[in-house]
């Protein structure tokens, strides 16, 4: 196992965060900034604690995470499956790929109200929105990873009388895995974004719904607390996917930005 190398930035980053939070608190107190505009970190921490103890935050976060997980699983299956077919079957690429590109250019925020109207205010519409937002980066990275396979390795397997199926599974797919995981890393965060966007438009539960309710009550401290929760959740999902990548793509070197996983 490679030893973890600490640098000055590893120490400066937490210190800078502490200084930032302390300065935020002091500025709010010294200039008497209204909590309706920017609440101090102490009020945000109190709101976060209260929402957690009362169970509202954990319940709504669980709903959003369920929508995110299901949407991400569907997007991953579609993205990897369609990407592999597009990369391997030329006529399918010519028939389908242009329409996928055209669909990607349509802002998903614009079609989200239609999806909520078609699939209802329950979890289904949020899952569909999460899929539509998350599938494209997975699809593109799968295609680029397969197309980027070293030609010499393909020729070597074919020289050993390997079939097209064996060439794909032995050479192309393992080579594409780092690209696929790059798409999955983006896709899982996009799935969370899609679920929250759907909850903004219309939902019975979820983090987005909790954020809308807190904003309607002018409870800005709770709004900030929910935003902090979303940020921490998104970062945790990123770390989880990076950890899975290190376990699956064990033969390749990881990116410098993932050394902390």
Does a structural domain hold residue 35? no
Q: Domain of 221: which CATH number?
A: 1.10.3720.10
Q: Is residue 26 included in any domain, yes or no?
A: no
Residue 79 lies in domain: 48-258
Kindly state the DSSP code that residue 169 receives in the 8-state scheme: I
Number of domains in the chain: 1
The answer as to whether 24 is a domain residue is no
Helix (H, G, I), strand (E, B) or coil at 208: helix
Question: Is position 41 within any domain?
Answer: no
pLDDT at 257 over 50: no
251 assigned to some structural domain: yes
Helical residues (DSSP H) of 55-122, grouped into ranges: 56-88, 90-105, 108-119
Residue 227 placed within a domain: yes
Within a domain: residue 206?
yes
pTM of the model: 0.87
pLDDT digits (tens, 9 = 90+) for 30-58: 888 888 889 999 999 999 999 998 888 99
89 falls within a domain = yes
pLDDT in tens, 144-203: 999 988 888 888 888 887 778 888 888 899 999 999 999 999 999 999 999 999 998 888
Going from the C-alpha of 102 to that of each of 74, 96, 168, 180, the distances in angstroms are 21, 10, 28, 22
**CA-CA distance, 154 to 42, in Å (whole number)?**
59
Q: Which residues contact 91 (CB under 8 A, 6 or more apart)?
A: none
Residue 3 scores a pLDDT above 90? no
């Amino acid at each position: 196992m490679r030893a973890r190398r600490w640098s000055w930035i590893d120490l400066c980053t937490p210190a800078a965060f502490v200084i930032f939070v302390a300065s935020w608190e002091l500025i709010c107190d010294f200039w008497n900034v209204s909590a309706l505009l920017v609440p101090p970190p102490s009020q945000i921490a109190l709101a976060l604690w209260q929402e957690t103890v009362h169970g509202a935050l954990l319940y709504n976060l669980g709903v959003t995470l369920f929508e995110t997980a299901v949407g991400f699983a569907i997007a991953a299956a579609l993205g990897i499956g369609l990407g592999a077919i597009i990369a391997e079957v030329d006529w399918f690429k010519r028939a389908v790929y242009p329409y996928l590109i055209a669909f990607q250019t349509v802002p998903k925020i614009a079609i989200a109200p239609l999806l909520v109207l078609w699939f209802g205010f329950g979890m289904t519409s949020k899952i569909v929105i999460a899929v539509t937002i998350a599938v494209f980066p997975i699809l593109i990275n799968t295609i680029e990873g397969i197309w980027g396979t070293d030609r010499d390795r393909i020729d070597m397997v074919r020289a050993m009388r390997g079939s097209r199926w064996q060439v794909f599974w032995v050479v192309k797919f393992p080579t594409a895995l780092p690209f696929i995981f790059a798409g999955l890393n983006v896709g899982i965060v996009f799935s969370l974004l899609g679920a929250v966007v759907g909850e903004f438009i219309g939902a019975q539960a979820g983090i987005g719904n909790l954020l809308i309710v807190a904003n309607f009550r002018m409870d800005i401290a709770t709004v900030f607390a929910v935003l902090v929760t979303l940020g921490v959740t998104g970062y945790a999902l990123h770390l989880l996917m990076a950890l899975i990548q290190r376990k699956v793509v064990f033969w390749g070197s990881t990116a410098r930005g993932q050394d902390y996983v």
